[in-house]
Amino acid sequence: MIEAIASGSLVGLSLGLIGGGGSILAVPLLVYVVGVSAPHIAIGTSALAVAVNAAAGLVGHARARTVKWPCALVFAASGLVGAAIGSTLGKAIDGEKLLALFGVIMVVVGLSMLRKRSTQDDPDVHLDAQSARRLLPRLIITALGVGMLSGFFGIGGGFLIVPGLIAATAMPILNAIGSSLVAVTTFGLTTAFNYALSGLVDWQLAAEFIAGGILGGIVGTWLAKRLGADKQKLRYVFSAIVIMVGLYVVARGIANIL
């Protein structure tokens, strides 16, 4: 129980601070710290816990007005279909191989976030009748791809949603973090429901994880607002967490396969 609550606190901290990393951390923590023996149960349980923790973190970001609601809602709705398809495919793949591949993608995304962007942030970007022709296709196509990956790997997808929102709209990273939690909640619940239908969710463990996550989320949201003035520092924090955990997951996944 203590391990589950402590692990949940780390997940909530990550979600509140960088809008992602919830399942990136949750799956390895459930497998390697809490001791869940079946990777698919860890994935299903983490998807539920992360979705609830993301919803709790969203409340804090909404109060801080860092959520671009129209963009966030379109992204979440478009990615929902992809998450349902991806989670169905993911259940058919060997769990250890899934974890190893998961880690590789984390490292790639983390490195890509370190690259200097060619375009400037647009803090005033918003989806309306005038901008819809430009923004809608980017949001929908990006969200479908992110949703499929989110469901396939059993993750809330924040570490993909944040760069996806930035690429599609050029919104600042703090707004992308807040907005991403709408999609993280949606994708996570979709994946959790799919896994629950196959009996792959540990409900008691999920409750313990959620309790810890809510506490961590409060701290993470506060830190995100403090770091928001230094967007580059926040980007480095996001990338470093994703890369380090990704390398660890790859190493453990390969070791278990061999």
| pLDDT tens, residue by residue, 1-23 | 789 999 989 888 888 777 766 76
Tokens 């606190």 sit on residue: 9
Cα separations (Å) of 87 from 22, 189, 203?
17, 11, 19
Q: Would you say the pTM of this structure is higher than 0.85?
A: no
CA angle (136, 137, 138) in 5-degree steps: 90
pLDDT 10s digits, 102-128: 788 778 878 877 776 656 788 889 898
DSSP at 117: P
Percent of the chain residues topping a pLDDT of 70? 92
